[in-house]
Amino acid sequence: MAENHLAEIEEARAFAQAIIDTVREPVLVLDQDLRVITASRSFYRTFKVGPEVTQGRLLYELGDGHWDIPKLRLLLEKIVPENGVMEDYEVEYEFPDVGPRTMCLNARKVFYEEGSHTTILLGIEDVTRQRVLEREKDDLLRQKDVLLEEIQHRVANSLQIIASIILLKARTVDSEETRVHLQDAHKRVMSVAAVQQHLHASAASGSVEMGPYLSRLCETLAASMISENRQVSLKVSGEGGSATSRQAESLGLIATELVINSLKHAFSENTKDGQITVAYDVSGTDWRLSIADNGVGKPDGVFAQPKTGLGTGIVKALAQQLGAKVETLVGPEGTTVSVTHATFLAKTPRVE
């Protein structure tokens, strides 16, 4: 009977050792005095030691005392005894033979039925390379942010220079038609600059709140495109919502083109109490951007014409990129152009 019992113990020990050796991360089995009962093959391979200098020795004596690490003492002498388990406890230490190591420690106290003793399983995950890669990634992201900041600065300066040159040229040409085209080009460059400026201010968060974004954009558009002698107001309404920076860029350009369109076609120089309303509403992942005016409009609607100008082409191209459709509603009270994504389509009157 005793021989059978010893054989079962040896068999169980061999089985347990096989399990430990199968684990990829280094593992130590410690007795209640923190003496090494056994270690996994990965422990010997990682820390370049052998069983003869590991088994039967106190943990803090391993490697000529290099495992006598304050954080490790705290883990094994306080945290594990009090809680019975400890997970993801990170320790940094420089070992003479293997160099600096960042180790993620996982420990568990094992209790036996007899209650006479306990053991501690200590798993050691070497996350050194992972932490190095994370630091490199963080450095690259910081470099990217610096380069992006520089690019944004150069783009803003370049747009201002281009706009100034176009406006200067518009003042010197003799042809009235050419002057109008140059002034129109100047407004478009300024609108792109406004979109770029507002998006840059929102870039840190990764998403753009459309209500404040459109409000700031419309303030810029009104200041640059509505002269003091024109009685036309530009306001923002709607429930708002958020969008990615890329979506917000396209929506901002669409809003700019549609506002320019209303200013050019909906009102005369003698218009009183003219109003353009930019609205953005969201329902789940679906959204609708609409620009409405109370001007005279056109019988067929500017965006319903089979042949359209540059502004209309820009709006339709941007809407297509966003997976949205452009719809025009013309009535006695003015014109509304909506750029709609998905379920809002069922709620919007459509005129082809």
Tell me the three state secondary structure of residue 141: helix
Domain endpoint, select from 205, 221, 251: 205
Taking Cα atoms as reference points, which of 224, 163, 157 lies closest to residue 197? 157
pLDDT, one tens digit per residue, over 241-265 is 888 878 888 888 899 889 888 888 8
Average pLDDT value for residue range 150-165: 78
Residue 132 located in a structural domain: no
The rounded distance, in Å, linking the Cα atoms of 35 and 45 is 20
φ, ψ (nearest 5 deg) of residue 106: -130, 120
The rounded distance, in Å, linking the Cα atoms of 136 and 139 is 5
The rounded distance, in Å, linking the Cα atoms of 149 and 142 is 11
C-alpha dihedral sign at 154, 160, 166, 169: negative
Look at residue 348 and tell me whether its pLDDT is greater than 60: no
pLDDT, one tens digit per residue, over 24-60 is 788 888 888 888 888 888 888 888 888 888 888 888 8
Rg over alpha carbons for the chain, rounded to the nearest Å, is 35
9 band by pLDDT with thresholds 50, 70 and 90 = low
Kindly state the tokens that stand for 228: 């003091």
Residue 135 located in a structural domain: no
CATH number at 238 reads 3.30.565.10
The rounded distance, in Å, linking the Cα atoms of 48 and 41 is 10
Strand partners, 340: 288, 325
284: domain range? 209-352
User: Do both 178 and 250 map to the same domain?
Assistant: no
Look at residue 23 and tell me whether its pLDDT is greater than 60: yes
Residue 133 located in a structural domain: no
Kindly state the tokens that stand for 153: 């600065």
The rounded distance, in Å, linking the Cα atoms of 52 and 276 is 85
User: Do both 181 and 200 map to the same domain?
Assistant: yes
Find tokens 């079962």 and name the residue: 8
Kindly state the tokens that stand for 82: 């009090």
Residue 22 located in a structural domain: yes
Order the strands of the 286-293 sheet from edge to edge. Answer: 232-237, 274-283, 286-293, 334-341, 325-331
Domain endpoint, select from 126, 153, 172: 126
3-state percent helix, strand, coil for the chain, nearest multiple of 5: 55, 25, 20
User: Do both 240 and 303 map to the same domain?
Assistant: yes
User: Do both 178 and 270 map to the same domain?
Assistant: no
Please count the other Cβ atoms lying within 10 Å of the Cβ belonging to residue 42: 18
User: Do both 198 and 263 map to the same domain?
Assistant: no
User: Do both 347 and 224 map to the same domain?
Assistant: yes
Find tokens 């932490």 and name the residue: 131
Find tokens 């113990």 and name the residue: 9
CA angle 140–103–37, rounded 5-degree value: 165
Taking Cα atoms as reference points, which of 117, 127, 94, 97 lies closest to residue 30? 117
User: Do both 49 and 69 map to the same domain?
Assistant: yes
Strand partners, 297: none
Kindly state the tokens that stand for 27: 């593992």
User: Do both 196 and 161 map to the same domain?
Assistant: yes
Please report the pLDDT score of residue 15 as a whole number: 63
> DSSP state, 285?
T
Look at residue 352 and tell me whether its pLDDT is greater than 50: no
Q: Which CA distances in Å does 307 have to 300, 304, 313?
A: 12, 9, 9
Task: Count how many domains the chain has.
Answer: 3
Residue 58 located in a structural domain: yes
User: Do both 320 and 228 map to the same domain?
Assistant: yes
Average pLDDT value for residue range 127-145: 85
Strand partners, 339: 289, 326
Please report the pLDDT score of residue 115 as a whole number: 57
Is the separation of the CB atoms in 104 and 125 below 8 Å? yes
Residue 16 located in a structural domain: yes
**pTM (two decimals):** 0.49
Domain endpoint, select from 65, 91, 126: 126
Average pLDDT value for residue range 183-197: 74
Residue 75 located in a structural domain: yes
Residue 137 located in a structural domain: no
Please tell me the total number of residues recorded for the chain in this structure.
Answer: 352
User: Do both 225 and 314 map to the same domain?
Assistant: yes
Please report the beta strands in 148-261, taking only residues with DSSP state E, as ranges in sequence order: 207-209, 232-237, 242-244
CATH number at 22 reads 3.30.450.20
Strand partners, 158: none
The rounded distance, in Å, linking the Cα atoms of 234 and 214 is 11
User: Do both 351 and 222 map to the same domain?
Assistant: yes
Taking Cα atoms as reference points, which of 70, 66, 59, 74 lies closest to residue 27? 59
User: Do both 285 and 303 map to the same domain?
Assistant: yes
